[in-house]
């Protein structure tokens, strides 16, 4: 009893004096406290300039950044340091001309990121293209860049055209854009590492069969699956020469090239187009802004609208529904999602199940004449700014990040996707529709303080499974050009990250000349596709689709991996379909029972029938320490109960044995 009293007093003293007990607490304290969006500062990016691309340059599975200095020629790679919780400059180089855009990619198939630099003079009719190859021991070979045939001012896009998992380019040359025949040109990747002085690209005609258009400048071209077969198609924004824009959708037929599936006019005043599965039905939708006019000096659009064109495709089969009716496919079963729907389409008018359009003023009714920043005029030529899409609250539905402009300045705004209800933007007067939209107002003081924003994007700082925010600033406030905002809200939901690699080093270890080795973890490519099904807490099944790096032009600032919220679920991911651009009979796999809160790395095989390699990396949540404490405490309590019962039982047995030993058998006398 005396020993127990001493231990009790000791426990009380630990609770009363937490500073003393912190020394034995095994879990690190949180870096950020508070259920809000919290200012995290520049995170080491203190040099003047702007972030032009994201990538994993050292293969450590942490996101790094590439910055362009204010001189428009200095490029710096900043690597993320997990221990210091900041970016640290690793490599700096200076290009010979003004840089317009930079695309990281493994063009030499070495398992490391090279840099495609688009540069030149705005007065010129062409863009100079250069590729700086990565060195195996780190950095870039700035002395021996690959000089590539120039393109037109419309920036080319990277994609895999022939199914060999090598990055090709699609665009126009100064001569082809005025051609009466085929305007598209292909920079075919012909790199051969075993051949000395091998060329990197060969300029050829493109495998696009149909009437080709003149690609707009700027454009919102994308490499994303639009017909639902988990094989990336090509979306192009075209210009008829009179400033009127229209679109073309080219379907990927593998070895038979690309065929024109849809062509149609785009709404007047259209700005940039972004792609995501807005309504969580397993298809990729279009989100874009339209404005009546745009100021050439400020880049601010007036009378702007947010538009959502839903992809009309085969739906997910209900629990008791069969995929076919009278021999015609009417839905996709959950275990077979990668089925092409040749009847898919987009419409820019109609009911709320087809097309939704609502003004910016519907989101900010209390603001005086709110406008939308659609161009960054601090860069020359101006950079088109699209609304950024990402699942900030992990509910499975992408949210919107944009820059609102008022007389008080330019402020980033986070717009949540919410269920439709009366009075919500994006819903009709009766509160019906697919999704509503609501501005985040609680815990966003760090965003409201910014008055000089010139661009925004989602980024997962430290790969902790929440989408944080990065804000580009003009620097007029004296607080630097880059601001990071930590998303520290608590969400009772799960996430998943996934990345498909490009098959470099035969999907194994890459080796250096001195005998070192490294994993090709940082070399994602445009065109991978993901579809998954998940059950919510009520047992309802839903499907969603996510593309990998669909857009890279005009500082798109998209991460090399795909991030998607799963919402609240008490189960594994039922089916995760992963599609690639390989020209095999089966270009995708189905992974069953994937654990949430993890990152999946997929290494496709280029050989028919050969299994794809998969690696799963778990990311424990913040609640894991408390679960551990609860399990240990529960186990200890149960052990004490069992011990007490055991001692009581042993004492009863001893008493019974003693009574039996004193018992006299009178019948034996």
Contacts of 246 (CB under 8 A, 6+ apart): 213, 237, 238, 240, 263, 264, 265, 266
Strand partners, 119: 99, 128
- pLDDT single digits (tens) 272-281: 999 999 999 9
- pLDDT single digits (tens) 30-48: 678 788 999 999 999 999 9
- pLDDT single digits (tens) 302-315: 999 999 999 999 99
> Quick check: 668 pLDDT over 60?
no
**Mean pLDDT on 463-480:** 91
Helix, strand, or coil here: 625?
helix
Inter-residue contact 436 to 427 (CB < 8 Å): yes
Quick one: CA dihedral 252, 256, 258, 262, positive or negative?
A: negative
**Mean pLDDT on 172-192:** 91
The share of the chain scoring above pLDDT 70, in percent, equals 93
- pLDDT single digits (tens) 615-637: 999 876 666 677 788 899 999 99
Q: Phi first, then psi: what are they for 574, rounded to 5°? A: -60, -60
Provide the mean pLDDT of the chain. 91
Burial of 97 (0-12, 13-18, 19+ CB in 10 A): middle
496: tokens are: 């998943």
- Confidence (pLDDT) at 10: 40
> Between 24 and 177, where is the model more confident?
177
- pLDDT single digits (tens) 410-436: 999 999 999 999 999 999 999 999 999
> Quick check: 561 pLDDT over 50?
yes
- pLDDT single digits (tens) 226-258: 999 999 999 999 998 888 999 999 999 999 999
- pLDDT single digits (tens) 210-228: 999 999 999 999 999 999 9
Helix, strand, or coil here: 12?
helix
DSSP designation for 281: B
d(CA 36, CA 483): 16
Inter-residue contact 557 to 570 (CB < 8 Å): no
d(CA 668, CA 208): 109
pLDDT-derived band at 13, boundaries 50, 70, 90: very low
The share of the chain scoring above pLDDT 90, in percent, equals 77
> Between 166 and 24, where is the model more confident?
166
- Confidence (pLDDT) at 516: 84
pTM of the predicted structure, to 2 decimals: 0.90
> Between 123 and 417, where is the model more confident?
417
- Name the helix (H) or strand (E) containing 602: strand 598-603
Contacts of 306 (CB under 8 A, 6+ apart): 287, 289, 357, 358, 360, 363, 387, 400, 426, 437
- Confidence (pLDDT) at 641: 96
- Confidence (pLDDT) at 193: 86
- Confidence (pLDDT) at 505: 86
> Quick check: 119 pLDDT over 60?
yes
- Confidence (pLDDT) at 15: 38
Q: How many CB atoms lie within 10 A of CB 106?
A: 25
Which one, of 416, 420, 417, lies nearest residue 432 by Cα? 420
pLDDT-derived band at 28, boundaries 50, 70, 90: low
pLDDT-derived band at 194, boundaries 50, 70, 90: confident
- Give the residue carrying structure tokens 């990336």: 232
- Confidence (pLDDT) at 17: 37
- Confidence (pLDDT) at 666: 54
d(CA 565, CA 395): 6
* Nearest-10 Cα torsion for 136, 51, 184, 579: 70
Contacts of 71 (CB under 8 A, 6+ apart): none
- Confidence (pLDDT) at 664: 62
Q: Phi first, then psi: what are they for 626, rounded to 5°? A: -70, -35
**Mean pLDDT on 251-270:** 96
- Confidence (pLDDT) at 263: 97
pLDDT-derived band at 7, boundaries 50, 70, 90: very low
Beta strands in 70-135 (DSSP E): 74-81, 86-94, 99-105, 114-119, 126-132
DSSP designation for 612: P
> Quick check: 640 pLDDT over 60?
yes
Which one, of 93, 113, 95, 92, lies nearest residue 104 by Cα? 113
């Amino acid at each position: 009893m005396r020993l127990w009293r001493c231990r009790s007093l000791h426990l009380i003293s630990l609770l009363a004096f937490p500073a003393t007990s912190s020394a034995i607490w095994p879990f690190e304290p949180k870096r950020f406290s508070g259920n809000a969006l919290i200012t995290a500062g520049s995170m080491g990016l203190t040099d003047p300039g702007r972030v032009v691309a994201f990538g994993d340059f050292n293969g450590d599975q942490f996101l790094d950044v590439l910055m362009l200095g204010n001189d428009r020629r200095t490029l710096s790679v900043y690597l993320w340091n997990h221990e210091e919780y900041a970016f640290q400059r690793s490599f700096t180089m200076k290009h010979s001309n003004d840089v317009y855009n930079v695309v990281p990619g493994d063009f030499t198939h070495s398992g490391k990121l090279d840099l495609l630099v688009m540069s030149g003079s705005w007065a010129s009719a062409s863009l100079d293209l250069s590729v700086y190859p990565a060195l195996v021991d780190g950095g870039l070979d700035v002395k021996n860049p690959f000089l590539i045939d120039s393109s037109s001012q419309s920036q080319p896009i990277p994609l895999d055209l022939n199914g060999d998992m090598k990055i090709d380019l699609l665009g126009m040359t100064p001569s082809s854009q005025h051609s009466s025949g085929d305007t598209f040109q292909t920079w075919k990747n012909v790199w051969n590492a075993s051949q000395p002085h091998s060329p990197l690209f060969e300029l050829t005609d493109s495998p696009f069969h149909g009437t080709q258009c003149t690609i707009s400048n700027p454009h919102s071209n994308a490499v994303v699956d639009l017909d639902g077969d988990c094989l990336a198609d090509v979306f192009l924004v075209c210009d008829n020469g009179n400033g009127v824009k229209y679109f073309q959708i080219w379907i990927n037929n593998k070895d038979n090239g690309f065929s024109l599936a849809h062509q149609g006019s785009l709404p007047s005043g259209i700005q940039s187009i972004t792609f995501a599965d807005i309504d969580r039905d397993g298809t990729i939708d279009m989100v874009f802004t339209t404005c009546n006019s745009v100021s050439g000096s400020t880049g601010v659009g007036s009378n702007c609208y947010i538009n959502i064109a839903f992809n009309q495709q085969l739906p997910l089969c209900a629990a008791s529904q069969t995929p076919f009716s009278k021999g015609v496919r009417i839905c996709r079963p959950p275990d077979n999602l990668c089925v092409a729907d040749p009847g898919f389409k987009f419409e820019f008018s109609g009911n709320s199940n087809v097309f939704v359009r609502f003004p910016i003023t519907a989101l900010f009714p209390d603001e005086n004449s709110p406008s939308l920043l659609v161009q960054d005029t601090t860069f020359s030529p101006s950079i088109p700014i699209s609304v950024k899409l990402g699942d900030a609250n992990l509910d499975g539905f992408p949210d919107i990040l944009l820059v609102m402009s008022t007389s008080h300045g330019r402020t980033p705004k986070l717009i949540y996707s919410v269920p439709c209800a009366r009075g919500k933007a994006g819903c009709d007067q009766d509160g019906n529709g697919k999704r509503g939209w609501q501005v985040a107002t609680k815990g966003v003081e760090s965003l409201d303080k910014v008055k000089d924003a010139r661009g925004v994007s989602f980024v997962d700082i430290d790969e902790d499974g929440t989408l944080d925010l990065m804000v580009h600033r003009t620097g007029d406030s004296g607080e630097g050009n880059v601001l990071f905002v930590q998303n520290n809200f608590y969400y009772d939901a799960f996430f998943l990250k996934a990345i498909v690699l490009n098959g470099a080093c035969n999907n194994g270890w890459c080796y250096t000349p001195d005998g070192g080795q490294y994993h090709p973890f940082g070399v994602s490519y445009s065109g991978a596709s993901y579809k998954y099904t998940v059950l919510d807490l009520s047992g309802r099944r839903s499907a969603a689709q996510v593309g990998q790096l669909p857009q890279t032009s005009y500082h798109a600032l998209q991460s090399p991996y795909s991030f998607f919220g799963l919402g609240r679920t008490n189960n594994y991911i039922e089916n995760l379909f992963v599609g690639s651009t390989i020209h095999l009979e089966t270009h995708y796999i189905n992974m069953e029972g994937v654990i949430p809160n993890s990152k999946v790395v997929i290494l496709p095989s280029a050989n028919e029938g050969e299994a794809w390699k998969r690696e799963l990396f778990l990311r424990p949540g913040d609640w894991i320490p408390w679960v551990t404490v609860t399990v240990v405490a529960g186990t200890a309590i149960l052990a004490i109960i069992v011990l007490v019962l055991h001692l009581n039982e042993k004492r009863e047995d001893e008493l019974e044995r003693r009574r039996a030993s004193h018992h006299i058998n009178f019948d034996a006398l």
